[in-house]
Amino acid sequence: EAPAAAVDTDAKEAPMLAELVAAGELPALEERIPANPMVVEPAESLGQYGGTWRMGLRGGQDNALLTRTIAYEHLVRWTPDWTDIVPNVAESYEASPDATTFTFKLRDGMKWSDGEPYTADDIVWWYENILTNEEYAAVHPVPSWLLAGGEPPVIEKVDDTTFTVTFAAPNGLFIQNLATPSGEVLTRWPMHYAMQFHPDFADNVDELIAENGATDWVNLMDMKAGNFPGTPYDAKWQNSELPTLMAWRLTTAYGEGTTQVVAERNPYYFKVDPEGRQLPYIDRVVYEIGEDVQVLVLKALNGEIDMQDRHIATLDNKSVFVDNAEAGDYGFIETVPASMNTQVIALNLTHKDPVKREIYQNKDFRIGLSHAINRQEIIDTIYVSQGEPWQLAPRPTSPFYNEQLAKQYTEYDVDKANEHLDAAGYTERDADGFRLGPDGNRITILVDVQAISQNWIDTLELIKGYWEAVGIQMELNVMDRSLMYTRKDSNEHDATTWGGDGGLDVVLEPRWYFPFSGESLYAEAWKEWYVNPSGVGSLVPPEEPPAGPKRQMELYDAIKATGDAAEQQALMEEILQIAADEFYALGISLPAPGYGIVKNNFKNVPASFPNAWLYPHPAPTNPEQYYIEQ
């Protein structure tokens, strides 16, 4: 391997910034970074400044790729190997023994990307005027992970660089949640910018509401500074004027009519390498927007994508990427899935149609559908024989592995399938051999699937045949992701298919183990009862769940109420055993390790790292220390 390129360790900032300093257009480096900047150890070697990191976004709502690459600047963060949590924006933190009070020390002299000071005032302002503001909270309730004893915390300033977060009851998962994408909310509200859209601080808010076509000040605030990932109000991607703490600040926002999202280095970024050289090494990040995944694949094959796995790195594409590696001048990275299933099929157990609800809630019906699926054939056909039949259960390497949960009802057995469907009470059939429901009509399941997920579509085509063989009609409902979520949020879906999150991040991502969040696609109404019992802002009325899921919710609340890891483990194991007994949704197979591509001159990328949402890969591997060898 060639030796690392020569690095000028005397140059403590990027040439593009040094030029601005020399021209008097930017303060000197020591005035831009905190007194105690965060030191980032390079994965391989000290980097060179310069260059552009090129990636590809899919369509107009691919915020997740942006979050996974340049947005991971929380108070704390995961280590690259996902074994620990370390300070980040916070210089340090302490937790009380009973997990009720958390004290954070910020970095003295830290600044927003526009040069304004970042202090405890920013966090307290957000807490007092956004999080707990009655008008704002009526639209955006306090997130469940920020509640303990049913109450939001009290956040208080100690001094300019110190603040406390105090809960009414123990919040044993608070620090872990801060390290996930949810935790960004505490570091995303620049007081000096946001207050101009708040009626308590600005006199011209009514004019701004009219100018921006907003409905009220809350809607205006959402547009300008809102921080709600997965919604139109994720302003950090829609508004390039919003100051940030990220390594790169947006210069071209993610909006209608743009073909790119562009971010350039933040002159006030708070991290340095071991030689005291300000990060990031790379000057700018450019995301080309393509509606068609195949366009992104072709860009990658042509060497026009520097490092990426999202969208392009499918099993189907692997052989093409391998064959073209030399011509495209790239190599490969391994992504270790945190997910536990290639594809979940989730019947809507709280369907607004009472007949469909009765059918889908019948456990024998779900067991029958499961036994009807030839999982090994799917694995061999769709996943090139990679993986094994698997339900919705933690991965084999997880300390939470539960064999019953993983393997029950995975046997392909048409006789057993028919026995369970008969036991469910659906023995009557029409002239075409399809089973009839309690209303005398043919049972037809419409499965929503997003158009870009070809493997899922191909799998469903196979399952359609398997289910027809036991008298159940299935139809595919192919659509874009936004429509799929609209139908889910309105409780209009018969069934939805998605990936199986929660294979390694079991405690923080239990969406498939009980109705825990909006991603628990099988029980929207039960989920609402747990996370939003008032029903404020929801299209689906909350509905009290049966004993099993209700007990799981109590157990999960108990997990959040203790900081004792052994107790948390025991409680989670009980939740998983109830999940095995309930059998909410169907899985197909255990995912094999994935891959990504990385250009041969794109350095400091680990050879292997986890692939998860709660570890929003590759962000915890410190992209600010990636560099392009010139």
pLDDT at 257 over 80: no
393-409 mean pLDDT:
95
Alpha-carbon Rg for the chain in angstroms: 25
Q: CA–CA separation, 605 vs 332, rounded Å?
A: 10
What is the band of 565 on the pLDDT scale with cuts at 50, 70, 90? confident
Which pLDDT score is estimated for 300? 96
Same domain, residue pair 583 and 614: no
Contact status, residue 554 vs residue 514, Cβ threshold 8 Å: no
Q: CA–CA separation, 267 vs 279, rounded Å?
A: 9
Same domain, residue pair 385 and 526: yes
Using DSSP's 3-state secondary structure scheme, residue 9 falls into coil
Q: CA–CA separation, 76 vs 92, rounded Å?
A: 9
Residue 316 belongs to some domain of the structure: no
Residue 442 belongs to some domain of the structure: no
Which pLDDT score is estimated for 256? 54
Same domain, residue pair 583 and 604: no
pLDDT at 288 over 60: yes
Residue 444 belongs to some domain of the structure: no
Same domain, residue pair 503 and 612: no
Which pLDDT score is estimated for 357? 98
Which pTM was predicted?
A: 0.78
Domain containing residue 108: CATH number: 3.40.190.10
Which pLDDT score is estimated for 2? 39
Least confident residue range of 64-68, 266-270, 552-556: 64-68
pLDDT at 235 over 90: no
200-205 mean pLDDT:
98
CA distance readout (Å), 31 to 35, 115, 275, 443, 587:
9, 9, 18, 69, 54
Tell the burial category of 407 from Cβ atoms under 10 Å away from its Cβ (0-12, 13-18, 19+). Answer: middle
Least confident residue range of 81-85, 125-129, 348-352, 407-411: 81-85
Residue 98 belongs to some domain of the structure: yes
Residue 49 belongs to some domain of the structure: yes
Number of domains composing the chain: 2
Domain containing residue 517: CATH number: 3.10.105.10
Contacts of residue 357, Cβ cutoff 8 Å, sequence gap at least 6: 348, 349, 350, 351
Residue 276 belongs to some domain of the structure: yes
Same domain, residue pair 578 and 616: no
Which pLDDT score is estimated for 97? 84
Instruction: Work out the mean pLDDT of the chain and round it to a whole number.
Output: 95
Same domain, residue pair 391 and 521: yes
Residue 325 belongs to some domain of the structure: no
Same domain, residue pair 424 and 369: yes
Least confident residue range of 379-383, 530-534, 615-619: 530-534
pLDDT tens per residue across span 463-502: 999 999 999 999 999 999 889 989 998 999 999 999 999 9
Percent share of the chain, pLDDT over 90: 85
Same domain, residue pair 620 and 558: no
Residue 256 belongs to some domain of the structure: yes
**Which domain does 81 fall in, by range?**
15-309+595-628
pLDDT tens per residue across span 433-466: 999 999 999 999 999 999 989 999 999 999 999 9
